[in-house]
Structure 1
């Protein structure tokens, strides 16, 4: 399945060019939270998007209607549509589908509106007279896909995929399936999340999954480093235009990469815990490579989940060794979460954008802040600086609360 359009809204800059410039420079976009007063929280660090909806082309009515996550998705989708070169006005709208992934939906707006109707939590019985007219859209995650579909005039199948932190990969897997099964000719697919809000920060504080390195926010996200102490919350969106390779070739489109294989698994083990042996992720990798009809030795780059929690990084390292064998030690691995944080359901799609651009440009993004590797994480994690290397096959993996494990294989077209 060909990727012919990419749109990105990410920490460090809006647009695919700004995103790629940040990654290849090795700069970080993590900082002290500015979205609200986080002084009372254990973790006060996040990777926020410097996003001006007016400058991004949204109207005042769109801004009023849409949650921040929906705004991200629509802006990313518009960039992807333009980038693809497709004339959507000349296409049958019923043959264009929309699939958007998200872990927490319109959390930002829901929390804000609850504070209004409850008068900052003072009243158990909320007063609906103070609610905005679009509150239902915030409650129902399907509004994310609806907004993107409206932006593109897409009248084919529309869906939201919500599988926690693997949502961005799983949404693209579903998007590719829609084309393979004949339900659509083109799919606008990706993911979005804007979770930097008090309720989300409090949830991760409670289980101590996020970093407490508040005195050094720029270097707080440290995947695979011995001193890592949790992930840095992020936000953003990446949206793609997908179509059959033959159709893309016929119209002379630029093809960034092909989605050659995808698989997902669940560990049926623990809501937040991971088995140290990485068996379930390794199985997802095996099946994705089988679907792509590739041997493990074909993998040129592993775009890691690399969240920066001790158990995830060790689990993922074990999964790479189990699935790739000795080739794991010859495969460059990196985590872009070191630079753009962990945007929950959106990050899988954002990482696919990075993977496709790695193929396009022959550059592997680095793992920033990796100065002192964990002895149990003993692979080549491309520390600190980007690496020029021809890349024909990228394996991108994700891991999510609930035991979700996903893997996607991209290849040079």
Structure 2
């Protein structure tokens, strides 16, 4: 294999969604355009009156049981027992999303098994199933073990299950940088394709929506206590009080432009470059001045050879926490306001809740949809903007205009920051 003399262009050719705002591209597009949220009352621990009462739920699916035989999913998907017995709840969602993305890209199994096709994934594993399986071990004093419990529960579970299901041979890799994980996966997938090591990479994220994986964040006061689904997630608003947990599965197919064009694939957008940084500040809180995220955006724009004034839309990481939103607002002012740029800014987490490690790939897919369908999502649920947002362009309504350049931000615990730059692909 000979490597290219110059970086190759990288494009988005397939999207798959199992999310709180829809389980197919058409539904997700409609809800994004109409700013219709997918949050509902949620009982994290049955019989308990917990202060956190809302989550971004996955409709048409029921994975509340710790045994796959009790799970329910739409009839359009079929699974054998051998597939289900090694999956966590979010694994079911991730496979459905990946099937959608592969079909959307027009790929067949022979394409997936090629030496030049890779799979990058991220999830936190399944604390829910791990709790159950380890309880079985301790209750029986080690006499009873779940044979495939490790495969179904640890952070690499999507790697194990998806690479086997699709016969992947080119590469398989998992990413663990908290809520920046799938954005890191997209960035490194970009590098692999741009450098000519791979022709395409499927990037997949998934997370359970359970007390074990979501309610635990209440211990660090990160979750909203607002019981109203219509206002619980309100990024950048002065009344925000924490994020709303969500999960599901999302998948995106990246390809070299040459490979995509050669097979006549639909191209949603170009991934034009990316950048990353670290805060070096705190385990769980972003640098208050947003210096790390500003550096990630600066590097991403430089890599994409794009000026701040060329950016039409920023899909913010903003989770609806007081400290995190404020830090990002200051980073945005550093990069855009100081350059005289006024891109539209919104966080779609107002609609979906925060899907943790899968948020980056899900929201990048949202950006690709917005580019292809010709709109910019407004900031849902915003009433009174935080004073730190002064000078930023945060529209409350959807803008009926196709963005030509989008910046997508992600940040995670420990100060991991990633920015991606997407560019509209000529029709």
Query: What is aligned with 2:68?
Result: none
Q: What count of residue pairs does the alignment treat as equivalent?
A: 403
Q: Structure 1 residues 38 and 361, CA, compared in 2 at 3 Å: closer, same or farther?
A: farther
TM-score (norm 2): 0.89
Query: What is aligned with 1:65?
Result: 86
Structure 2 residue aligned with 1:53, among 64, 73, 94?
Answer: 73
Deviations 1:109-154 (A, max 9, x none): 2123234444xxxx5x74451x432201024332312322233322
Give the Cα–Cα distance (whole angstroms) in 2 for the partners of residues 3 and 241 of structure 1.
6
Secondary structure of 1:20 counterpart = helix
Secondary structure of 2:292 counterpart = helix
Verify: 1:368 aligned to 2:380, yes or no.
Answer: yes
Query: What is aligned with 2:411?
Result: 399
Q: Structure 1 residues 117 and 177, CA, compared in 2 at 3 Å: closer, same or farther?
A: same
Give the Cα–Cα distance (whole angstroms) in 1 for the partners of residues 171 and 191 of structure 2.
12
User: Unaligned regions of 5+ residues in structure 1, if any?
Assistant: none
Matching of residues 91-170 of structure 1 within 5 Å: 93-102=114-123, 104-118=124-138, 123=139, 126-129=141-144, 131-170=145-184
Query: What is aligned with 2:107?
Result: 86
Give the Cα–Cα distance (whole angstroms) in 1 for the partners of residues 142 and 113 of structure 2.
45
Q: Structure 1 residues 36 and 93, CA, compared in 2 at 3 Å: closer, same or farther?
A: farther
Query: What is aligned with 2:5?
Result: none
Give the Cα–Cα distance (whole angstroms) in 2 for the partners of residues 92 and 42 of structure 1.
48
Verify: 1:178 aligned to 2:192, yes or no.
Answer: yes
Give the Cα–Cα distance (whole angstroms) in 1 for the partners of residues 134 and 216 of structure 2.
17
Structure 2 residue aligned with 1:246, among 258, 262, 270?
Answer: 258
Q: Structure 1 residues 191 and 38, CA, compared in 2 at 3 Å: closer, same or farther?
A: farther
Q: How many Å apart are 1:264 and its aligned residue?
A: 1.3
Give the Cα–Cα distance (whole angstroms) in 2 for the partners of residues 38 and 174 of structure 1.
44
Give the Cα–Cα distance (whole angstroms) in 2 for the partners of residues 30 and 117 of structure 1.
36
Query: What is aligned with 2:270?
Result: 258
Matching of residues 181-196 of structure 1 within 5 Å: 181-194=195-208, 196=209
Secondary structure of 2:12 counterpart = strand
- Paired residues of 1:76 and 1:238 also in contact (CA < 8 A): yes
Larger CA deviation: 21-30 vs 400-409: 21-30
Q: Structure 1 residues 143 and 202, CA, compared in 2 at 3 Å: closer, same or farther?
A: closer
Computed over aligned residues only, the root mean square deviation of the Cα atoms, in angstroms, reads: 1.9
TM-score (norm 1): 0.92
